[in-house]
Chain A
């Protein structure tokens, strides 16, 4: 188990040193800033569109970083070493994705309330927005990991990762933005939150297996 945490810590430290979190958060704010230029500065309109826009920007910020999660290890040969470790590859994958979640998604989630305020969400809406994103974001990382692992041997696989991951994001997006929209009406949408949690749990069980299979296949 100590190997698990060591891999996780290494991923967090490397991402932190590389300034990945700063870049992703900056990307999030740039994305949000572009929206009023396209849609007009009317506050009522921005508030109505905010749930969907925030989810889209979050997904984009995440996807721009996900393609490198396994690719760096694939290119420098670390992946071959990981296959030889006593820890099953499924858990190595899980450790790396957990590290990715801590290093990248948590800073993004911290930035989302501020981005929400820029889009005219009231402070009362923010807890529900965060709750929905907390329930859905594990699935985003795990499912995006599938896309990243399938494209791991492709040079400049970033666009391919996005293309492969987005169909998996449709359900998360629907229920996540849906729950956030209900928050605007002042309701707590337990059904959608429960489904989001279910999708995250199911991906937690299925994604590491699929990712490990894809990675084994890539180094063979």
Chain B
């Protein structure tokens, strides 16, 4: 099994082969993402009103999956960076770089929708609650990662420096989470968990899960597109240097 994975990964280390695969995956992935998103949003807009939160509960269907993707995005960058640094897979850096703005945008969406939801629920746009605060710190970590790529001109050095930051930052995320939890907590505890029965009624749970899968597909569609763009950009640079 591992051997097979190794072979596949070695096969697609060649950018041209990867571009062929990406071109084939591109349209279906986008189709799945958009179809799921449309269906999920349709379901989400037709859930019954919550007896306490009224219409505003519908914000949840964007807010919660965005927060999931914010965390998933950073883990993705971490694993891509490890793959690039340790196994020297040439696509690792490309994937990590491509995913960063996508993850950062999902983090921003989670923060903004959280703020819009918090206004009617908690009576204020922003509270210094543990989860909000650690999400904000995560956004800063994303911004630092993107800034490294922009600040260093030489591509290989930028790639390796960014990968180092991604790894060190990944260690930092749970530490921040722990200390911020110690500091202040008011947010409701997680209501969808795999270990226990979810505390969410099925009417809400299924649209939420559909939206979760839709955001997941959207993340990969966006990241794949950005990876294709990055590889084309690299090819263009080489051609320009050659002068043709």
Q: Report the minimum CB–CB distance from B144 to chain A (whole Å).
A: 5
Given A160-B151, A218-B161, A166 and B140 contact (CB-CB distance below 8 Å): yes
Interface size class of chain A, counting residues whose CB lies under 8 Å from the partner chain: 20 to 34
Q: Tell me the minimal C-beta distance from A30 to chain B in angstroms.
A: 26
List A contacts of B168 (CB < 8 A): 146, 210
Contact B141 A167 (CB under 8 A): yes
Note all chain B residues with C-beta closer than 8 A to A214.
Answer: 161, 164
Stretch at the interface among A64-72, A95-103, A170-178: A170-178
Q: How far is the CB of B175 from chain A (nearest CB, A)?
A: 5
B142-182 interface bits toward A, Cβ cutoff 8 Å, 1 = contact, 0 = none: 01100110011010010011001100110110011011101
Within 8 Å by CB of A163, from B144, B157, B182, lies B144
Residues in A neighbouring B154, C-beta threshold 8 A: 153
Least Cβ–Cβ distance between B224 and chain A, in angstroms: 28
Q: Does B21 touch A at the CB level, under 8 Å?
A: no
Q: Taking the complex as formed, is A217 at the interface, i.e. its CB lies under 8 A from any CB of chain B?
A: yes
B152:A153 contact, CB within 8 angstroms: yes
Bound together, the chains give a CA A153 to CA B160 distance in angstroms of 12
Whether the Cβ atoms of B148 and A160 lie closer than 8 Å is: yes
A119 within 8 A of B: no
A72 to B48 alpha-carbon distance, docked (Å):
63
Q: Which of A163, A174, A199, A218 is in CB contact (< 8 Å) with B140? A: A163
In the complex, which of the residues B143, B151, B172 contacts A151, with contact meaning CB atoms closer than 8 Å?
B151
B149 to chain A, nearest CB (A): 11
Judged by a CB distance under 8 angstroms, whether A17 is at the interface is no
B137 within 8 A of A: yes
A144 to B178, CA, bound (A): 20
Confirm or deny: A157 has a beta carbon within 8 angstroms of a beta carbon on chain B.
Answer: yes
Q: With both chains docked as a complex, state the minimum distance between the C-beta of B84 and any C-beta of chain A, in angstroms.
A: 13
In the assembled complex, the CB of B138 is this many whole angstroms from the nearest CB of chain A, namely 8
Q: Does A168 contact B (CB under 8 A)?
A: yes
Q: Is A150 an interface residue (CB 8 A)?
A: yes
- Tell me whether B179 and A171 are in contact (CB under 8 A): yes
Residues of B within 8 A of A217 (CB): 157, 160-161, 164
Listed residue (B160, B168, B169, B172) with the most chain A CB atoms within 10 angstroms of its CB? B168
Q: Which residues of B contact A157 (CB under 8 A)?
A: 151
Does B122 make an interface contact (CB < 8 A)?
no
Residue B87, interface by CB 8 Å: no
Q: Is B51 an interface residue (CB 8 A)?
A: no
B176 near A171 with CB under 8 A, answer yes
* Residues of chain A contacted by B137 (CB below 8 angstroms): 167, 170
Write the nearest CB–CB distance from B145 to chain A, whole angstroms: 9
Residue numbers in B under 8 Å from A210 (CB-CB): 164, 168
> A residues 3-57 with Cβ under 8 Å of B?
none
When chains A and B are docked, how far (Å) is the Cα of A185 from the Cα of B180? 22
Chain A 84-127, CB-CB to B under 8 Å as 1, else 0, gives 00000000000000000000000000000000000000000000
A174 touches B141 (CB 8 A): no
Tell whether, in the assembled complex, residue B183 and residue A174 are in contact, meaning their CB atoms are under 8 Å apart: yes
A213 CB, nearest partner CB in chain B, Å: 6
Near B by CB (< 8 A), chain A positions 170-217 give: 170-171, 174-175, 178, 199, 206, 210, 213-214, 217
Q: In angstroms, how far is the closest chain A Cβ from the Cβ of B155?
A: 13
Chain B 122-149 interface 0/1 with A at a Cβ cutoff of 8 Å (1 = within): 0000000000000001001101100110
Interface residue from A146, A163, A178, A220 paired with B183 (Cβ < 8 Å): A178
A164 to B145, CA, bound (A): 8
| B interface residues with partner A (beta carbon < 8 Å) | 137, 140-141, 143-144, 147-148, 151-152, 154, 157, 160-161, 164-165, 168-169, 171-172, 175-176, 178-180, 182-183
Give 7 CB contacts A-B under 8 Å.
A154-B151, A167-B140, A167-B176, A170-B180, A210-B164, A217-B157, A218-B161
Given contacts A160-B147, A174-B180, A217-B157, 6 further A-B contacts (CB under 8 A): A150-B161, A151-B148, A163-B143, A175-B182, A199-B175, A210-B168
